[in-house]
Chains A and B, each alone.
Chain A
Amino acid sequence: MRAAKSSRSNPRALCVRIVDEVVARRRYLDAALDEHLPRAPAAARAFIQEMAYGTLRWFHQLAAIAALLLERPLKQKDRDIHALLLIGLYQLRSMRLPAHAAVTETVAAAEALGKPWAKNLLNACLREYLRRAARLDEVIESDPVLQYSHPAWLTEEIRGVYPEHWEQVLAAGNERPPMVLRVNLLKNSRAEYLARLKTAGLAAAPHPAAESAVTLETPVAVAELPGFAQGCVSVQDAAAQLAAGLLDAQPGERVLDACAAPGGKTAHLLERTPTLAECLALDADPARTALIEQNLARLGLQARVVVGDAAAAATWWDGRPFARILADAPCSATGVIRRHPDIKLRRRPEDLPKLIETQRRILDGLWPLLSRGGKLLYATCSILPRENEQQIEAFLARHADAREAPLAPPVGLARAAGRQILPGMEGMDGFYYAGLRKI
């Protein structure tokens, strides 16, 4: 008899399924992990997650190495073996495992996938890799697409728009992101929360960019954060924590968060200014608006949560203007690749025109909702000027009653319009902000 655990819960075989769903079906990595990880033995989950993140983070590089090692390409129906080979290469290149164990266990996983014929092939490729690693590294370093392991179109675009920073941006896309917390200042000061973390044995430091932000030295599960369930703290990158301050909503104002799910920025707006006349949290996806409600409930905050399309106000707007609008628009997410390496595989250049059109419709759709003298803060987690400053410049050209509103504090790099935080700046995610004032 063979134990069932050597199949469905073989860590590497499970990791193959996760990686393949992202690569072949463009599934979100988070969703694939949520489905498959609970089937793994608890002790193996962190290991599988590390392999899945790492293999996707370095996919372009690993696939190029695999192509050099394979005598002929694998067939389409053997994508799982291809994924397993990349997982094996990732272990050899980046994980602290004895090489022989990584090879043996990766080869054995072919059996768990029901493809024992692939064992010889995997064994030969991985051993060949160990023999030729130095030479293969030279090949990789000769090509920035392979060296930084981003898709060619994105590498080219970033190189073109950031001639001084492109290598830094691509390298930052491969970093392991820090876990950054937003302290709920209604419930505890940052100093108080830092003390609680210290008592809990979690090393942390205040983040210089945002008054509520704390960087943990080592990521932990949220359940281990003191007071998480009681709403003392949330998880949010420092770059995203700048939104509330830049929008600068004042007591008594009516505020709209137009693309609100999962509600992190909505919650922050309310934590910063609890005495708003009203905060309306809008999102087009009913499943995701439920997340807003959950987040607010945990933090003990209240907003009006509405399902609706920011670009089609007629379907949900009551006609009363807003003094401030936050438009955190759908985007390529090219600023948060370090957090979501699957973006490198899911995002295609042909997605961009559609995203840019959506952003344009949202901006134009929201503008009539803003009161005179009111401010709209446009935000994306993109680093592509097409979605950012070019979008805003085009908007200003279309709307005679719009002026750019300078941002305080001036974050990131000044662009033709708005400000760009590049990934890695002060340890932050890549983010774009622009302020628009209605005259």
Chain B
Amino acid sequence: MVAFYGTEVTSRLMLGTAQYPSPAVLEQAFRRSGAGIATVSVRREAGAERAGAAFWDLVAQLGVRVLPNTAGCHSVREAVTTAQMARELFETKWIKLEVIGHADTLQPDPFGLVEAARILTDEGFEVFPYTTEDLVLAERLLEVGCKVLMPWGAPIGTGLGLTNIYGLRTLRAQFPDVPMVVDAGLGLPSQAARAMEMGFDAVLLNTAVARAGDPVGMAEGFARAVEAGRLAYEADPMEPRDMAAPSTPLIGKAFLE
């Protein structure tokens, strides 16, 4: 079991709720994946007089914990306002903090992210910052009070997988006790398994499932990969080596042809 801000969750898979062909497919994908946490964007759907409420009710009916996000926010002020709105809407202190620095690649703005994380933490939020694998940035986020980190695998929606293995490994090794979720850039279950084998606590993805030809089947694929990767990590995998090592002793074998 992994705990985020003291809340234990059984599934190490988190799913986004955007871009599915329909809410019905979204619901089936969640059921099949067993995901325990759903991220929800509040910004675009908000509008006046809770106009997005029908969709949020559908998400609430999934019976999973909701992690609202500030997707699409490009400034500190915008992200903070969106977080405050999310807290009211979903009655949760959790916020996945995104402050986008580059409109085209959706790369996080590290400076704005730290500032927004500081403001929100001071206001009592439990912040899940969407960040790069940068070590120094991670340190700053922890200094301002974040107790979870969400480093990217690759830019949002690319499906490129873990593009900087070295950086992610360093990050994991540097902060072994901080719960870390690899967020964004995953396209295939094998990439999710890899992240879990490296000791990350969970993965979060959206596009890879929502935009698959069969989102429900892909959701199960990811669920199994996450489980496989975690089992491998916990089982302390063997070290790779250059020379072949027979798994059966040769001495005492009756015939050698």
Q: Do A and B come from one complex?
A: no
Where the two chains meet, the residues of A that have a C-beta atom closer than 8 Å to any C-beta of B are none
